[in-house]
A and B are shown apart, each in its own frame.
Chain A
């Protein structure tokens, strides 16, 4: 059983710093997801843990074994690390059957022939692939290949499990099923796992904790709930869910509340955890599900009502998607009723919006 500690990990490719001073502590049996847009350094981090790339700086330990320590010049080659890595491409060996693929790591470990057979069949049962043992990889569907790739890493009981976008090559329907299956498997296995994805749904539904990465750095570490409800910055907020950003100025502040004035003079009130300085520029973010069309009449006690201009409206099976212009900011809203064609009265809650200092670039 092993906990994984990454300290100050840095990896450069020429002039590009792909991973920049990343530190992360994954507890024994914990399932941590690296989440971020393509090119943010997730795979590079994983490769450094597995030993496929030699990092330029930092330290990686698993349990009491030092995998890598730049300062002491320690670098274990991948074959000495006992990591299980499932590749985005699955990397099944095309010239071997499913059985031969899965038995390979056991043969390397000089497991007796009888034990090998038993263990391979056991793990193929676990991933529900036992009937396909004699097939070649190209005779399997994407979802089946992914299970075999997982079986091939589970069969030798790795100290930690690393999964690089294992679902990204599946089509949408299959992906939902595979995700549910993975979630179920993970509670059974209880392995220390790093899971890499750019899909926030996968991250939110599978993880104990999420590490959001941006440009090689860690933007935020937290539980799925933390990340979703209290994003640390506009980047995280934007990435974790479709979010609407409103630039504004603080017009007034009182105990735990702030009055914001938009560029066109309209005002709204929000609950602010941190006191905001009157006169400063801020950004307030709302999720689509937090906003709705205001009923006729004055605003209720829980929210503000603002006039917005409808810029686009399209019917998408049961719902309307509406594009709104509010003081120059672009908002997206979903509603069941057909929206008006020109002016829409928008209800925004006092609580639940997230207030950031400054003007968010993600809102641009």
Chain B
């Protein structure tokens, strides 16, 4: 030590390892993102099918689409449904954020938790739940009918669908409003209150205006989700003859015996362009919103507003909403799974049975879809988590020349609706020779789901990565560790909680995904979502309920486990 002779740095590997890893990852992401988009865009410009030997470029598809009977109505329906959905979601979400986040409403915390449940469930399962309660032969509808005469509502309308979709998307508005400055920074309100402003006056004049950026941003987000929605229009719209863009794509691209590829691809391309624009708008708004949103939040909870005499009436109203919109659909769905027939007129004891579950596990097709879903979600989720971790480290912790481009590319799938991704991968796998065996396996689903949910995964990992001090990896570099060693020995262990959160989110997303899957599955590679839709078409309501119950149970178990073991928060 005293006569320290400077030691040579560790012998560098002959070839810098980061180069193949970083470029390899970037190329992989590029292929994943471009693979479904290129065929769709190309096909929209061709007069024949992509896989035919000869074709010419044309803009004829666009003209043809415009002339297609009823396509104008399809567009109007899409916009109206998305618009109404947004209205419902924003109204409920904003109100809930104020009530559960800012007032002395009894049991506000518990109700806030319950309010978020639809976020964890697929809209498909939620639709079945609503059907079981409020459908034509639904549990509640029957009670109403027997007491008050014919029920005045129908789910088979744009309004009915918008209510279901709005309830399932209200948590998004709720989360954004909760994190807005007025909720996390009470000083703004307190100033108003000190100056003698009453509770409701302060809410109206201070709290709500300060939430505007959060409301506006989540509104665009919800409008986008509303446009991309497939399950609800498929279940309630199609029977009533109400077609939206997604069901138009589904019916013409999949169900139709002789699909017009040019037309389908053109509609898909149109949808892609619209959603791209909306996502771009979200990005811009988020930039403007940042200064209104305090990330992380304060440790101290602001003093809640006193509701006074309205405290209990509002509590009853909120409790009724939670009961009617969240608990009842789930509970009746689960109940239906355990019965042969469900009606308020028949005593429950007479119809209780496990037959639905027995059938599910007796028939290989149904059982297989459960196992496939589990494998896709566990193995696929793990693979996708590894990829997301790698992308995040390259984007945020490397000198990779194209890290900016990689970041943009990795977030791009936000702008690709599930339906479009499904059609795109379908084309891509049909076109590239040698992928035949992959096409009929669950791996095509793993690939498509991974592409779809890379942005969600990055959203779970990046914020945490940004909190890890740069000094920690720089210290390793100075001491002689190359980028890859640093990433493995220093960054990976530090990112573990974020990766657990990422895996959970990807597991749940993969497990409940159906929109992409229905374009891609083949006999043998069914997943729960696709089987649910098939059973639904066959009218097997009991089996639908049983399968949906399995999905809900697995997701609930997963969330409970992760919360209990790792204490990872999954939202906000």
B interface, size bucket = 20 to 34
> Is the CB–CB distance between B482 and A79 below 8 Å?
yes
The verdict on A83 contacting chain B, using a C-beta distance below 8 Å, is: yes
What does the 1/0 interface line of A150-171 toward B look like (CB < 8 Å)? 0011101111000000000000
A105 to chain B, nearest CB (A): 4
Q: Answer whether A51 and B478 are a contact pair too, CB < 8 Å, given A79-B10, A79-B12, A108-B485.
A: yes
Q: Is the CB of B472 within 8 A of A105?
A: no
Compute how far the CA of A126 lies from the CA of B472 in the bound complex, rounded to whole angstroms.
24
* Of listed A110, A154, A158, residue having the most chain B CB within 10 A: A158
Contact A80 B479 (CB under 8 A): no
Q: A136 at interface (Cβ–Cβ under 8 A)? A: no
If A78-B478, A79-B481 touch, does A93 touch B490 (CB 8 Å cutoff)? yes
Docked Cα-Cα span, A226 to B432, in Å, equals: 76
Interchain Cβ contacts within 8 Å, total number = 104
Taking CB atoms, residues of chain A closer than 8 Å to B1 are 122-123, 126, 154, 189
A84 and B477 CA atoms in complex are apart in Å by 10
**Given A78-B477, A81-B478, A122-B1; A91-B471 close (CB under 8 Å):** yes
Q: Hey, which chain A residues are within 8 Å of B481, CB to CB?
A: 79, 104, 108
With a cutoff of 8 Å between Cβ atoms, the chain A residues found around residue B6 in the complex are 1-2, 63, 82, 157-159
Q: How far is the CA of A63 from the CA of B337 in the complex (A)?
A: 78
Which residues of A sit under 8 angstroms from B482, Cβ to Cβ? Answer: 77, 79
Residue of A52, A122, A153, A188 near B479 (CB, 8 A) is A153
Nearest CB of chain A from residue B528's CB, rounded to whole Å: 38
> What separation, in Å, do the CA atoms of A77 and B476 have in the docked complex?
12
| Interface membership of B493, Cβ < 8 A | yes
Chain A 106-133 interface 0/1 with B at a Cβ cutoff of 8 Å (1 = within)? 0011100000000000110010000000
Chain A: number of interface residues, binned into ranges = 35 or more
Q: Which of B12, B475, B494 has the most CB of A within 10 A?
A: B475
**Counting CB contacts under 8 A, is A60 at the interface?**
no
Q: Report the nearest A residue to B489, measured CB to CB.
A: A104
Residues of B within 8 A of A83 (CB): 478
Give every chain B residue within 8 A of A78 (Cβ-Cβ).
Answer: 474, 477-478
In the complex, whether A256 has a CB less than 8 A from a CB of chain B is no
By the criterion CB–CB under 8 Å, are A91 and B5 in contact?
no
Q: A69-91 toward B: CB 8 Å interface, digit per residue (1/0)?
A: 00000000111111111011111
Q: Is the CB of A52 within 8 A of B12?
A: no
A156 x B493 contact (CB < 8 A): no
Contact status A109-B7, CB under 8 Å: yes
Which residues of chain A come closer than 8 Å to B437, judged between CB atoms?
A: none
Cβ of B4 < 8 Å from any Cβ of A? yes
B480 within 8 Å of A (CB atoms): yes
**Max chain A CB contacts within 10 Å: which of B1, B5, B489?**
B1
Chain A residues near B110 (CB-CB < 8 A): none
Given the known interface contacts A80-B9, A93-B472, A94-B494, the answer about A189 and B4 at a Cβ–Cβ threshold of 8 Å is yes
Q: Is the CB of A105 within 8 A of B480?
A: yes
Roughly how many angstroms separate A63 CA and B8 CA in the complex, as a whole number?
A: 12
Contact B10 A87 (CB under 8 A): no
Report if A82-B8 is in contact (Cβ < 8 Å); known contacts: A51-B478, A108-B485: yes
Instruction: Give bound CA distance, A152 to B472, whole Å.
Output: 13
Q: For chain A, residues 40 to 84, give those with C-beta under 8 angstroms from any C-beta of chain B.
A: 50-52, 63, 77-84
**Which of A1, A52, A154, A188 is the one whose CB lies under 8 Å from B478?**
A52
Q: Are B480 and A87 in contact (CB under 8 A)?
A: no
Tell me whether B469 is interfacial, beta carbon within 8 Å: yes
- Which one of B12, B471, B476 contacts A80 once the chains associate, using CB atoms below 8 Å? B12
Cα–Cα distance between A85 and B478 once the two chains are bound (Å) = 7
How many angstroms between the C-alpha atoms of A123 and B2 in the bound complex? 11
Query: At the interface, yes or no: A191 with Cβ under 8 Å from chain B?
Result: yes
Contact assessment for A79 and B480 in the assembled complex, using a CB-CB cutoff below 8 Å: yes
**Is there an interface contact between A95 and B9, defined as CB atoms closer than 8 Å?**
no
**Given the interface contacts A77-B482, A189-B4, A191-B4, does A109 sit within 8 Å of B10 by beta carbon?**
yes
Select one of A104, A126, A156 contacting B476, CB under 8 A: A104
Residues in B whose Cβ lies below 8 Å from that of A91: 469, 471-472, 474-475
Contact B10 A110 (CB under 8 A): yes
Contacts of A110 in B (CB 8 A): 10
B-contact bits for A304-346, CB 8 A (1 contact / 0 none): 0000000000000000000000000000000000000000000
**Chain B residues, Cβ within 8 Å of A80:** 9, 12, 480
* A82-B480 contact in complex given A91-B471, A91-B474, A91-B475, C-beta closer than 8 Å: yes
Q: Which residues of B contact A191 (CB under 8 A)?
A: 4
List the A side residues contacting B494 at CB < 8 Å: 93-95
Residues in B whose Cβ lies below 8 Å from that of A50: 474, 478
Q: Spell out A's residues near B (CB within 8 Å).
A: 1-2, 50-52, 63, 77-85, 87-91, 93-95, 104-105, 108-110, 122-123, 126, 152-154, 156-159, 188-191
- Can you list 17 contacts pairing A with B, beta carbon distance less than 8 Å? A50-B474, A51-B478, A52-B478, A78-B478, A79-B9, A79-B478, A79-B480, A85-B478, A87-B475, A91-B469, A93-B490, A104-B489, A109-B7, A109-B480, A122-B1, A152-B475, A158-B7
Question: Closest 6 interchain pairs by CB?
Answer: A91-B471, A159-B6, A91-B475, A105-B479, A78-B477, A157-B7
Question: What would 17 more interface pairs be, CB under 8 Å, given A109-B7, A159-B6?
Answer: A1-B5, A51-B478, A78-B478, A79-B480, A80-B9, A80-B12, A84-B478, A87-B471, A91-B469, A93-B472, A93-B490, A93-B494, A94-B472, A104-B481, A108-B479, A156-B480, A157-B5
